[in-house]
Chains A and B, each alone.
Chain A
Amino acid sequence: MDIVQLVVVGMVLTILATLVLATVSYGAFKVRERRVPGAARAADSTPLFFERVRFVARDAAGK
């Protein structure tokens, strides 16, 4: 096996391992996200007091 083939084999393995790692990591992230308790999810996504401080009407937004 010459040096070019060795490099190519290394690249193929690296790319495949990275693709698998990325997919597995993403799957793990989604699983962990689903395990977040309901209360914590609510606190993370639902504002308690207000969503936004409104300054002025949007019509006046331009320069």
Chain B
Amino acid sequence: MKRGAYTATATGAAIALAALALLVLAVAATLRLPVELQTGLVRATVVLFFAFMFLLVLRYLSLLWLGYLHFRHDVREADDGDDFTPPVSIVVPAYNEGRIIAASIRSLLAQRYPRFEVLVVDDGSTDDTYAQAAAFSGRQGGVNVRVVSKGNSGKAGALNTGIALSRYPFVLCVDGDSRLSENTLRRMVRHFRDPDVAAVAGNVKVVNRIGFWARLQALEYIEGHNMARRAQGFMRAVNIIPGPVGMFRRETVQRLGGYDTDTYAEDADLTLKILAAGWRVEYEASALAFTEAPESLNALIKQRYRWTRGILQALRKQRRVLTDPQSFNTWLSVVMMLFEALLWPAMNVAGSIFFVTIAVAFGASAHLLAWWVLLTLLDLAAALYTVAMEGEDLKLVPLAVVYRFVFVLLIDVAKLFATVEEFMKVEMTWGKLERLGRI
């Protein structure tokens, strides 16, 4: 099947599934509770959850629609900006990335872009990262590669060092394990024609689609992160420039003081700082960065724990954006961040426990079934639609059946624990993920 027909078929199927989900919601709203449960409190709780589900349906449909508009906008501007090619510095912070740093640098050197430099900052690695990177030092096919080594100060410190040493007005910050598509620089830099744009977020994809958890994360990056970012991009409300691929106007980052070292999500923190200062952040879906996802459950929990606490730290620091936003879009981007970090995980876990409890204890199984069918249909619709839109592997779509009630529930429990610890100010460490050398 040709790409266009494939996308149209998938879109039609997704719309049908979403319509079915609305039907399920309508039927579920007419369900009666067992007599023993017809108390005011239980009724109020059920109404609360169904109201939340209605909001969730609206959120899904809005994201899909806004994502589609962003996609159409992208298609129309596919060839825009070819003549705008200012020089760019690529900054690669690396701490114990010896297994993959060479492959990462090779992918950067393969960029189809007239003028750029690569700057690797070895952040006091205890393995052979510096030696591996230093082998590329000097001119590599017209690209200048510099490798510097410094004492360990964390990723934010390494990025700040790289930005301070960069020579060009635009800086692409990547992770030590990022592998970029060949046109990433060209696709991202075109957004800086607009003088109000200070940063551009790229599209992160999972490279190691091996095993249950990594495959579910591959789906999550497409259906969850990137679809939300597309919608945010269209609304001009992008709230996180991902660590694996983000481009910045260097002067702006410098004026804002660079990356702060007091949160565990330096990317979210810097994004909020940029938004708070009144700048715009764009999303470029065709700027791809492939990154390693955790393959074990322990590594996955560790990563999400750090992300959640880091995002909450960044939100707390930049809370004035909520009360005194520069624009509606800025306010909206922070509200969405709060929703994803705090409200939705709590509602998802509470809803699952509540519906299981009334099903097991009082036989109100229809409510649980409605909760599951509704969310699964929405996830299937979103997965089908987003996988088709990004030309991704269709085999990821069936995973949507277990996505919500295994993967998301598990992550949400970890987020809740992390949230409690953050509010209790429990001590934490960076907890760097072990690279598996899959790129």
Write the residues of chain A forming the contact surface with B, with a CB cutoff of 8 angstroms.
Answer: 4-5, 7-8, 11-12, 14-16, 18-19, 21-23, 25-26, 28-29, 32-33, 36, 41, 43-45, 47-56, 58, 60-63
Shortest CB–CB separation between residue A43 and chain B, in angstroms?
A: 6
Residue A11 contacts which of B160, B256, B368, B428 (CB distance < 8 angstroms)?
B368
B163: chain A residues at CB < 8 Å are 53
Shortest CB–CB separation between residue B353 and chain A, in angstroms?
A: 7
Q: State the main secondary structure of chain A at its contact with B.
A: helix
Write the residues of chain B forming the contact surface with A, with a CB cutoff of 8 angstroms.
Answer: 124, 150-154, 156-157, 160-161, 163-164, 196, 252-261, 273, 277-279, 297-298, 301-302, 305, 349, 352-353, 356, 359-360, 365-366, 368-369, 372, 402, 405-406, 409-410, 413-414, 417, 428-432
Measured in the bound complex, the distance between the Cα atoms of B278 and A61 in whole Å is 10
Asked if B261 and A61 make an inter-chain contact with CB atoms under 8 angstroms apart, the answer reads no
Asked if A61 and B365 make an inter-chain contact with CB atoms under 8 angstroms apart, the answer reads no
B298: chain A residues at CB < 8 Å are 25, 28-29, 32
Asked if B260 and A61 make an inter-chain contact with CB atoms under 8 angstroms apart, the answer reads no
Measured in the bound complex, the distance between the Cα atoms of B117 and A50 in whole Å is 25
Asked if A47 and B356 make an inter-chain contact with CB atoms under 8 angstroms apart, the answer reads no
B297: chain A residues at CB < 8 Å are 21, 25
Asked if A50 and B153 make an inter-chain contact with CB atoms under 8 angstroms apart, the answer reads yes
Measured in the bound complex, the distance between the Cα atoms of B368 and A12 in whole Å is 9
Asked if A53 and B161 make an inter-chain contact with CB atoms under 8 angstroms apart, the answer reads yes
Given contacts A26-B417, A29-B301, A61-B277, contact A18 B410 (CB under 8 A): yes
Residue B405 contacts which of A5, A14, A45 (CB distance < 8 angstroms)?
A14
Shortest CB–CB separation between residue A58 and chain B, in angstroms?
A: 6
B301: chain A residues at CB < 8 Å are 22, 25-26, 29
17 example contacts (A-B, Cβ-Cβ < 8 A) are as follows: A18-B406, A18-B409, A21-B410, A33-B431, A44-B429, A44-B431, A47-B152, A47-B153, A49-B153, A50-B157, A52-B157, A52-B258, A52-B259, A54-B257, A58-B256, A61-B257, A62-B278
